[in-house]
């Protein structure tokens, strides 16, 4: 067991050294896998990817989702992806940049998507995550919420939820929270 921890520590040190700060400038296995995943992306027309730090830094990128159906139709929602050098053995860290009234996204941008937590497996990829995020906007889930208030409204009053989403997306207030227009 101790030997396994030493191997993991060695891999992490090698990964830290491979990001251009160490003596070698070779890509980590995670960077190679991410490059492959991005080159094979098959995004829906309503999604786009950008690299704010340039294409030389694939480990941090952004996805823009513009749902074309459901409660969030017509909105624009940005997500940041930060990928560790041990990807795909660890899920990317994903945050929503757009303040949104949503049962599965809290007001700080944390995302409740099972494949980003307990159901992550190395066979999954960036494409899977993007489709999962898109699905959150077409079928929000009140059964596994981060925003419990929004989940309760969705469960108990779908028409009220629809009105709250429209108000929030238009830049209005829902309860005590002021939202920024995201059309």
Is residue 112 part of the annotated active site? The answer reads: yes
What is 77-135 written as a DSSP string?
A: EEEEEE--TTTTSSPPEEEE-S---BTTB-TT-BB--GGGTTT--TT--HHHHHHHHHH
Determine which one of 47, 96, 112, 182 is catalytic.
112
Strand 47-50's sheet: what is its strand order? 47-50, 60-65, 77-82, 93-96
Contact residues for 40 (Cβ-Cβ < 8 A; gap 6+): 125, 127
d(CA 98, CA 78): 6
d(CA 135, CA 139): 6
Q: Which helix (H) or strand (E) covers residue 32, if one does?
A: helix 29-39
Q: Which residues are catalytic?
A: 112
């Amino acid at each position: 067991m101790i030997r396994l921890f030493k191997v993991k520590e060695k891999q992490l040190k090698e990964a830290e050294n491979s990001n251009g700060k160490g003596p070698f400038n070779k890509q980590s296995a995670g960077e190679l896998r991410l490059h492959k995943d991005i080159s094979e992306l098959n995004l829906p027309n309503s999604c786009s990817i950008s690299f704010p730090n340039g294409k030389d830094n694939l480990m941090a990128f952004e996805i823009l989702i513009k749902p074309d159906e459901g409660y969030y139709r017509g909105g624009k929602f940005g997500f940041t992806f930060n990928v560790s050098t041990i990807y795909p053995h660890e899920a990317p860290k994903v945050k929503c940049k757009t303040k949104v009234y949503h049962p599965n996204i809290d007001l700080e941008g944390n995302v409740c998507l099972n494949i980003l937590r307990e159901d992550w497996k190395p066979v999954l990829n960036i494409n899977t995550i993007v489709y999962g995020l898109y699905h959150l906007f077409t079928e929000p889930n009140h059964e596994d919420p981060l925003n419990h208030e929004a989940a309760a409204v969705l469960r108990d009053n779908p028409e009220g939820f629809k009105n709250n989403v429209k108000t929030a997306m238009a830049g209005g207030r829902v309860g005590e929270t002021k939202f920024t227009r995201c059309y």
